[in-house]
Amino acid sequence: MTTRPPDLTDRPRLEHARNRARKRGLALFLHEEARTEVEDRLMMVNKAFTDVAIVTGFPEAWRESFPNAVIVPDEDHLALAQGQFDLVIHALSLHWANDPVGQLVQARRALRPDGLLIAACFGGQTLHELRSTLAETEVAISGGLSPRVVPMGEIRDLGGLLQRAGFALPVADLSPRNVSYASLFDLMRDLRAMGETNALAARLRRATPRALFAQAAALYQSRFPAPSNPARIAATFDLVFLTAWAPDESQQKPLRPGSAQARLADALGTRELTLPKSDPNTRQTP
């Protein structure tokens, strides 16, 4: 019998944060950046897509560019019919998924053979300045540590999710965005307007002392000044883009090792050198 791991995300809390952002005024500039990147990638693909689904918590950021797309909430179980689409865009919500591999598996099943997935998510060093500042301050004040920033996957690990989900021709790349703010409080105000406040299931459930944020703001300013203006603070947002295809027999396959019909040296116009065989009984050191 397998035990399900605890949820990463408190879904009702996440929806509350998003609805609060809508009521108070959204800040979706990172969604707009991601949308532009997705459009650029689609322009490089020699294929027309007619049946598009977008998995997102903020459809208002994507409808303008994809008016005919089916919008699907980023819930644990995606409302995607099997084999219905030739393009699925997973738009800046995979970092909140309780089961990211499951999300990608559902996206693959929704694609027809040779259909395309483009997933954009936060990863890498996103908000590393905020994470380290809050952690150091909380330990100094209370002697303990509570989760406050959603963990971010590294690009290699995120790319590996595509293979685990059964995709073909997987590619992962990173597009960093460096933003500056007047203070920690301005950064936190923007995160609220993005709907990206703390929705972790394991978050601290009691009120945070005000002294923590005041002290964290001073520490943040001293540790992470913005390069262009030391009076401001720097904030990193790493946008990771995962691109892959639903398997199809028409796709190129890698050659078997040793099956090459031409020498690399000939293709490069260079001379191939044959190295002497080393004595297995002799140990070489760098």
Residue 283 has pLDDT above 50, yes or no: no
C-beta atoms surrounding 38 within 10 Å: 22
Structural tokens at position 235:
């904030």
Summarised one tens digit per residue, pLDDT across range 64-75 is 999 999 999 999
Mean pLDDT value of segment 57-62? 96
Q: What percent of the chain has pLDDT over 70?
A: 87
Average pLDDT, the chain: 90
Over the stretch 230-252, which tens digit does the pLDDT of each residue have?
999 999 999 999 999 999 888 87
Amino acid code (one letter) for 48? A
> Does an H or E element contain 163, and which?
helix 155-164
Give 206's pLDDT tier (boundaries 50, 70, 90).
Answer: confident
11-248 belongs to CATH 3.30.420.40: no
Q: Parse the chain into domains and list their residue ranges.
A: 11-248
Give the containing element (helix H, strand E) for 256: none
Give me 281's structure tokens. Answer: 């009984």
pLDDT tens for residues 2-36?
567 889 999 999 999 999 999 999 999 999 999 99
